[in-house]
Amino acid sequence: MATMFNFELVSPERKVISEEAFQVTIPGEEGMVGVRAGHMALVVSVRPGVVEVIRKEGGEVERIFIAGGFADISAEHCTVLAEEAVPVYALNAEKLEAELARLNEELGFADTADEKAKLSRRVAIVTAMMDAVR
């Protein structure tokens, strides 16, 4: 049985990763999903959180924050289509705290349900980013 599979992580801006991996862990809506070669076919909704990529057996873990999306998994391939993707090391806790304060202030002044929903979604994403850097 193969130990490696093709992994792609794609955001609207670019293809973040496109190479072989040994294991990937994805923050699914229903819980964390571990993927290795030979995984059963599955499509899952992805919540804001951290994707962990191990490129070779025993290798280091690369952590990438994603803001949600979908994952298409098969025995030989896994593709994550993310709304946003940022390496965890690039996140800055102080900037995130400032953004969260600004968003919460804007949320207090939001008039429409649509505005409130958009701001609430962004608050959830920034909160998940802060959790990723802790």
Q: Which two tokens stand for residue 121?
A: 């979604």
Tens of pLDDT along 91-100?
A: 999 999 999 9
pLDDT of 1 over the 80 cut: no
User: How confident is the prediction for the chain on average, in pLDDT?
Assistant: 94
* pLDDT given at position 2: 74
* pLDDT given at position 12: 93
For 5-88, CATH gives 2.60.15.10
